[in-house]
Structure 1
Amino acid sequence: MILRSVVGKLWLTIIVLVTAVLLVLSLFLTEQIMETYYQAELHSLDQLAVQVKETLEKSSKDDQKEYLRSVLKVADLYDTYMIVLGPNGSVKPADVSPNVPDLPWQDILEQTEIDQVFGGKKQVLRGRVMVGEKGKATFPLFKNEIMMVAYPLKNKQGKVNGAVVLYRTQEQLSESQIKKLIFYSALIGIFLTTIFAFFLSSRITQPLIQMKKAAERMAKGQFSTRIPVRSHERDEIGDLSVAFNRMAAQLEESIHALSQEKEQLASILRSMADGVITMNAQGQVIVTNPPANRLLEDWDSDSDEGEESSKRGLPFQLDEIFLQVIAEEKELFGDVAKDGRTWAVVMAPLYARGDVSGAVAVLRDVTEERRLDKLRTDFVANVSHELRTPLAMLQGYSEALLDGFAQTPEEQREIATVINDESLRMGRLVRELLDLARMEAGHIRLETASVDVTELGRRILRKFQAIAREQEVTLIDKIPSIFAEVIWDEDKVEQVLTNLVDNAIRHTPKGGKVTLTINRIGDKAQLTVKDTGSGIPEEDLPFVFERFYKADKARTRGQSGGTGLGLSIVKHIVEAHGGTVTAKSKLGEGTRFVVQLPLTGPKKVEDSSI
């Protein structure tokens, strides 16, 4: 691991360079020193050999022996071997140094060299390899050198009668000690250099290591990290540390500003009632606020087969708008309908460096707005449609009176009666339209209280007794004498029963029957109004609670005189109480309306008014 760091690389570089320099220097010094040493040793050996030669040549035989003994002892003290050769090349033991190795002198001088010495020529030898009996080196490789000087000995007549040989082996030379000294000096230099290089590299790289650790802490989000800078260390690395601290301060300030803007944007998005969806260029959702997140989850969970999200991850309702925005690079508006609700969508492209990088969509639930717009439109259309006929009749009969078409009092009374009936019908229509508009807009007020169901049902039947006798319709009472206490808005429930019973009597022929039944089913009260009229076609049953819906001619407003709003009002009142109303009918057998209301009344009461 240390070789992968700056400290290790710098340290290793210094060690390699210093080691190479020391090795080259050691080799150079070794060559120079040893060369000088060999020259000095060889010169001293040569001087000694000359001195011995001259002394032996000038002295007598007796003096030579005594001198040789002295010289041999002195030479032995100075680690120098000496051999004196006779005329025939033989060696006497007395003429050899006391500690000379037990080797034939021929292993030191070759025959050709002996011949040259006896021929009167001086022989100087350095580097001879000493060979044993079997041809192997006598000494190890690093001790295989000798230094030898051989001089011929001449008599007074100048004839060679012997030779003197002085030599030193590797053991007698101080070469190994000198080499060891240089080697150990190089090792000590390398060791000291290693320590110095490691200290120097650590000292130099310490600020870099601090910078690395500071960068790692900043990568983890600790943007307040700073590097200590000493005033006396303002070199290039110190300047780098100062620049790093300045960069860290600016980065911290920028990150803080970005965090504030992000928090503000997140707070704005969270507080928005509208859904905001941000998509990348591939249509993948990257940012949503809580309303949009809930909307996407609901759309995904409620999607049917074939309505899955697109490959881009967008609901298919938004996918087409997204593709168009990316292709045309302009803002688009539109409505998206899903599960009975309507969403207004505004989608605009997002740009990065001049290119479209995605899109942002704002979705607003405009279901209620669209419903109110439709209610207003339908209200105006229905009012104009329903008022057109009575107004036309009022205008026509009024013009008839003004023009004097009615000559007799009976004709005038008949016209006045028609005008009065149409006026009453028009007033009833306006009231019911206003009531229905309030209910459909959710502005219905329920004033709940304890209601006597038995008394309520019988009061309804008494109200319609006269009309039933006039229409020759029989009212049947199936109301229990005692009923559980209920919590309802009595006026609103009475309006429900009034509309149902009135509707049944008007659509029941003479001799028919209308039955009001009240009973209890679990925690609900069931109110049933059944007639024996002509009935409603099965295909019209799902639409009977819609306002102004025209079913079979037996149920048209033209014949019955109704406004076409009664059943729609019934449905709204029942649903406001938390109940349900259903209709069952067969042609020629009559119709039955069943209302189920909870005994405890509505769970949530909406209290508002127009």
Structure 2
Amino acid sequence: MIWRSVVGKLWATIIGLACVVLVILGVLLLQFLDRYFYEKQSNDLKHLAEQLVALVVESPARQDVIRVARAVVEAHDTRLVVIGLDSGEKPKRVLLDDRPSAASDVPEVPLDALLRHTALQEVLKGKEVVVRGRFPLVGAGGKSGRALFEQEIVAVGEPVPLGSGTYGAFILYRTLEDVETTMTHVRRLLLYAAGICIVLTTFFAFFLSTRITEPLRLMKKAADRMARGAFDSRVPIRTRDEIGDLARTFNRLAQQLDETIHALQREKEQLASILRSMADGVITVDRDGRVVVTNPPAERILRAWQEGDGAALPAPLAALFQRVMRERRELATDLPVQGRIWSVVMAPLYDRDDVRGAVAVLRDMTEERRLDKLRKDFIANVSHELRTPLAMLQGYSEAMVDDIAATPEERKEMARVIYEETRRMGRLVNDLLDLARMEAGSFQFDRQEIDPVAWTDRLLRKFSALAREQGIALKAEAVGEIGPLRVDPDRLEQILTNLLDNAFRYTPPGGTIRVRLRDEGGGVWIEVADTGVGIPEEDLPFIFERFYKADKARTRGQAGTGLGLAIVKSLVEAHGGSITVSSKVGEGTRFTMFFPRTDAGDVAGQAPKTRPSRDTGRGPA
């Protein structure tokens, strides 16, 4: 509403002030005019009365006084009453004569009303009196003395000395009807002038208030735009007064606010970018234990942990949060949740001296803990694998030194055992070096384009004699057309040789080993399947781990390093491929490999740094 606005309030204030001023001026002016007219009338009557008294004093001849008084009264719209003393010293009215005077149209005041007036009684004591008031009047020339109406008159009583200290009186009075008429016209003029003044003041007030409040409205609109986020809003500066100063201050404030908001926005975006790029989960919690801010990893963690209210802190973190809020210090712990191990560091957030919440950083330590365990197992396995050949080397060499072998055949057997164990340790060391180089990304590949079918046939010919010797059927099969493949032939031979060696080792006579090739999915699939003893199902997830041996009862003649399948997996993945295994005990085992035709990881002939899905695995080789 306009009355609630600055324009309405300013307009109402100006109009109210103008009305108050007009009322005060009108009252003062009317009082002044009333007093002025009253004094003028009273002065005229006093002057007239003084003239009549002077006539009486200077010319005691009654006829002369009557003639002069008559002339004077006829010249003025006035009634004259002459009061003397009778023999009983009671006042009485004496008319100049019985003829109508010029003042006959002036209503007459009864003598009793005049004589009852206290002030007029003072005239007979020799005092000049001026009286203004309402008196009962009768019609002009009336004799009844009955009051027909009341009207305000002004009367002047002038004492007339009669001698011996007694006084008569000349009382001249006239009505203030003309004054009232004049005052009525003046009041009407004042009302007209006040109306015109109010109208003009209204236009002026609206003009002034609009001119004053227009910059304020512009500032309000600019503030509204800023509240909606438009911090570049500015107010035009049109004056150099206080409003202009306010506009300049507002613009400076808007500029500083704009710069501050942009700085805060940049910091917020930077913080959000940092939080998004963090691999660790970050959770901010208020003092009530409700999640306030999270980053994407933390959101995934919360979705996996939460069961009820999505904004509440998950149960695994609630106890730690209560401890942090109670002890007001940073705490760290490991939480096993859903089969994984999480390292949680939680610290309180302060608002001056008050703790307003906490921030927690969560890191999935499952892989690190597993790798740490595998590293320990790796060291133990390497120590175990080296301990046996070293013990045998030590034992047989001591026997030879002590000349325990009695015959050349026994010495030759001891030398053969020492030689085989030395070769076994050499293979173990070489396999470890190969794995280390592949994991470090320094393993060199010499990629060449080969015909997979011809290359496989050539490799299988190397195993044909072994197959005949063990009574095992060795077969190669190509499904459809097989296109060329770009790989490192030596490493591919190392892969297949390892798999075929395992197949021959665990396939009994009369069994079958089959190498099958097919071309689909943008690469070549190679399967190596046997009808051997198979691998127990519980061992399949660990088959590619280092030093893992599915057959715990293998003989020394069948023993391997336990690194063969780990190397196979690393070499396949270094070519950008993949390998899987399926097996049933008593039915056989199938290894399936995929080699893509394009390997984005191969740059300038160097294999990318790859890790098996289980870094420290054990294979049955």
TM-score, length-scaled by structure 1: 0.67
Change (3 A) 1:275 1:440: closer
Contact 1:30–1:179 (8 Å) recurs in 2: no
Which residue of 2 is the match for residue 474 of structure 1? 473
Change (3 A) 1:8 1:317: farther
Which residue of 1 is the match for residue 153 of structure 2? 146
SS in 2 for 1:436: helix
Pairing of 1:104-119 with structure 2 (within 5 A):
105=108, 108-109=109-110
Which residue of 2 is the match for residue 584 of structure 1? 582
**Residue deviations 1:226-246, cap 9 Å, x none?**
99999xx9xxx9xxx89x98x
Distance 1:476 1:493 in 2: 18
Contact 1:454–1:480 (8 Å) recurs in 2: no
Which residue of 2 is the match for residue 499 of structure 1? 498
- Return the offset for 1:575: 2.6
Contact 1:274–1:364 (8 Å) recurs in 2: no
Change (3 A) 1:487 1:387: same
SS in 2 for 1:548: coil
Pairing of 1:292-303 with structure 2 (within 5 A):
296-301=295-300
77, 80, 86: which one pairs with 2:78?
A: 80
Contact 1:577–1:601 (8 Å) recurs in 2: no
Contact 2:45–2:172 (8 Å) recurs in 1: no
Matched to 1:489, the amino acid is D
Which residue of 1 is the match for residue 175 of structure 2? 169
Matched to 2:418, the amino acid is I
Distance 2:73 2:580 in 1: 148
| Structure 1 unpaired stretches of 5+ | 156-162, 288-292
Matched, 1:59 2:62: yes
Distance 1:306 1:366 in 2: 16
Distance 1:136 1:299 in 2: 108
Which residue of 2 is the match for residue 158 of structure 1? none
Which residue of 1 is the match for residue 132 of structure 2? 126
SS in 2 for 1:454: helix
Change (3 A) 1:335 1:505: same
**Residue deviations 1:283-329, cap 9 Å, x none?**
78888xxxxx8xx2244257545447986677888777666554433
Contact 1:583–1:594 (8 Å) recurs in 2: yes
Distance 2:58 2:561 in 1: 167
Contact 1:576–1:602 (8 Å) recurs in 2: no
**Residue deviations 1:143-181, cap 9 Å, x none?**
x4122468999x9xxxxxxx9874322223489459949
SS in 1 for 2:594: strand
Matched to 1:170, the amino acid is L
**Residue deviations 1:359-387, cap 9 Å, x none?**
66778899998787666545423311221
Matched, 1:560 2:558: yes
Which residue of 1 is the match for residue 100 of structure 2? 95
Change (3 A) 1:40 1:460: same
Which residue of 2 is the match for residue 511 of structure 1? 510
Contact 1:121–1:151 (8 Å) recurs in 2: yes
Which residue of 1 is the match for residue 483 of structure 2? 484
Which residue of 1 is the match for residue 612 of structure 2? none
Distance 1:222 1:350 in 2: 34
Which residue of 2 is the match for residue 603 of structure 1? 600
SS in 1 for 2:533: coil
- Return the offset for 1:425: 1.4
Pairing of 1:41-440 with structure 2 (within 5 A):
41=44, 43-44=46-47, 46-47=49-50, 58-60=61-63, 70-75=71-76, 79-81=77-79, 94-97=99-102, 100=105, 105=108, 108-109=109-110, 126-128=132-134, 144-148=151-155, 166-173=172-179, 176-177=182-183, 180=186, 279=284, 282=287, 296-301=295-300, 304-307=303-306, 324-332=323-331, 348-349=347-348, 351-356=350-355, 376-440=375-439
Matched to 1:569, the amino acid is I
Distance 1:342 1:16 in 2: 85
Distance 1:548 1:492 in 2: 21
- Return the offset for 1:504: 0.6
Distance 1:147 1:22 in 2: 26
Distance 2:21 2:314 in 1: 72
- Return the offset for 1:93: 8.7
Distance 1:250 1:67 in 2: 91
Change (3 A) 1:532 1:336: same
Change (3 A) 1:317 1:584: same
Contact 1:278–1:358 (8 Å) recurs in 2: no
Distance 1:361 1:542 in 2: 34
Instruction: Please say which of residues 539-548 and 449-458 is displaced more in the overlay.
Output: 539-548
Which residue of 1 is the match for residue 88 of structure 2? none
- Return the offset for 1:422: 1.4
SS in 2 for 1:127: strand
Contact 1:131–1:137 (8 Å) recurs in 2: yes
| Structure 2 unpaired stretches of 5+ | 84-91, 140-145, 163-168, 610-621
**Residue deviations 1:69-117, cap 9 Å, x none?**
6344312xxx3245899x999999941436716x6x4xx327665899x
SS in 2 for 1:430: helix
SS in 1 for 2:177: coil
**Residue deviations 1:339-398, cap 9 Å, x none?**
999997766555453444556677889999878766654542331122122222222222
Distance 1:597 1:490 in 2: 13
Contact 2:578–2:593 (8 Å) recurs in 1: yes
Distance 1:305 1:260 in 2: 36
Aligned length: 555
Distance 1:478 1:569 in 2: 25
TM-score, length-scaled by structure 2: 0.66
Matched to 2:75, the amino acid is V
Which residue of 1 is the match for residue 570 of structure 2? 572
- Return the offset for 1:501: 0.9
Identity among equivalent positions (%) equals 37
Matched to 1:109, the amino acid is P
Matched to 1:43, the amino acid is K
SS in 1 for 2:583: strand
Distance 1:17 1:38 in 2: 31
Matched to 2:576, the amino acid is G
- Return the offset for 1:68: 6.7
Matched to 1:74, the amino acid is A
**Residue deviations 1:176-201, cap 9 Å, x none?**
4599499969x89x979x99xx99xx
Change (3 A) 1:314 1:436: farther
**Residue deviations 1:456-493, cap 9 Å, x none?**
21122122223323333221232479631122222222
Change (3 A) 1:538 1:83: same
- Return the offset for 1:505: 0.5
Contact 2:347–2:359 (8 Å) recurs in 1: yes
Matched to 1:147, the amino acid is V
Which residue of 2 is the match for residue 448 of structure 1? 447
- Return the offset for 1:561: 1.3
Instruction: Please say which of residues 255-264 and 479-488 is displaced more in the overlay.
Output: 255-264
Change (3 A) 1:405 1:515: same
Once superposed, what is the RMSD of the aligned Cα atoms?
A: 6.1
Matched to 1:551, the amino acid is A
Instruction: Please say which of residues 513-522 and 12-21 is displaced more in the overlay.
Output: 12-21
Which residue of 1 is the match for residue 615 of structure 2? none
Distance 2:399 2:437 in 1: 38
Instruction: Please say which of residues 526-535 and 264-273 is displaced more in the overlay.
Output: 264-273
